[in-house]
Amino acid sequence: MIALNQKDLHVHSPFCPHRASDAPLEEYLTAAEKQGIVELGFAEHGPFPAPLSLTQYTKHPTLTDEEVELYFREMYALRETYTGPVKITIGLEVDFLEGFEEETARSLDLYGPRMEDGLLSVHNLLVDGRYLNLGYQHNIIAAVGKMGARKLSELYYRTMLKLVITDLGPYKPKRVGHPTMLALCGKHFPEFNEERALMEEFVAAAKEYGFALELNTAGLESPEDCEEIYGQALLPYMKKYDVPVSLGADAHRPERIGSDFDHPVILEAMKYLRPVWGDGTLRAARATGTARYEEAANDCIG
């Protein structure tokens, strides 16, 4: 079977508004080949469902509807011409934004038929009618100052539970991206990992609702504040509930593809974690245009 660290299933692209490089798509594939990655899962940020006036964003963080059309067109064209060894899957990273579930479901209805795979992620928490952006350490630190680390952690995991159980229609992605994002400031606030009951409840719900969870190495880019793989704190529960797992570097530039996939935590976790493609339930049945999931038998060979 293909090993967990041979597939990077969370990769962004030159279309990303906050990309860290203007390198062409071909360089992403070259980087994957050099890293020994056998499958590259592009998951660009799908359209943001809420007005920016309710958020802390100063500019649009995701693709617009027009840009999504271009993204799909260019990605499928790339795959038609690429002759290298890396398998390319094309999808979106979809924001779960509490209060905008209907808008998200409509967006998934529109783009879902073209998504071969995807991630559902929490980047923003609803706090007092506005959205706290978790992508920046100063936002998290300010929120801790107002509500405390334990209260923020509780809010985060309750939102993650809602992500799992909320009906977003037939195209709802079945993988959760960077599921411990508060770890961005984890070195400063160890209390983030003290909501053990809620953390376990979230993982148990993921299992019950047929989700996979991601181990995301992007946190290792911030060694002074994080130095942790997103999802790492959930490993005991992933093991306990036998939740399928994917690995992603969350690359916003080619050099990050497959980065830190040889980290000791990952190598140890590979001894007991079940890769999502070995599960037989979480690969989108693109041919039917539904959110039914079918076994990817070819992926389980070799």
Which residue, among 29, 85, 91, 27, has the nearest Cα to 63 in the 3D structure?
91
Residue 159: how many other CB atoms lie within 10 Å = 17
- Strand 130-133 vs strand 124-127: parallel, antiparallel, or unpaired? antiparallel
pTM higher than the cut 0.85: yes
Mean pLDDT across the chain, nearest whole number? 91
Q: What is the reported pLDDT for 278?
A: 72
Q: What are the tens digits of pLDDT across the range 204-232?
A: 999 999 999 999 999 999 888 888 999 99
- Per the DSSP assignment, residues forming a β-bridge with 133 are 124
Structure tokens at 36: 């020994």
Q: What are the tens digits of pLDDT across the range 43-72?
A: 999 999 999 999 999 888 999 999 999 999
Q: Tell which CATH architecture fits domain 4-300.
A: Alpha-Beta Barrel (3.20)
Tell me if residue 214 falls in helix, strand or coil.
strand
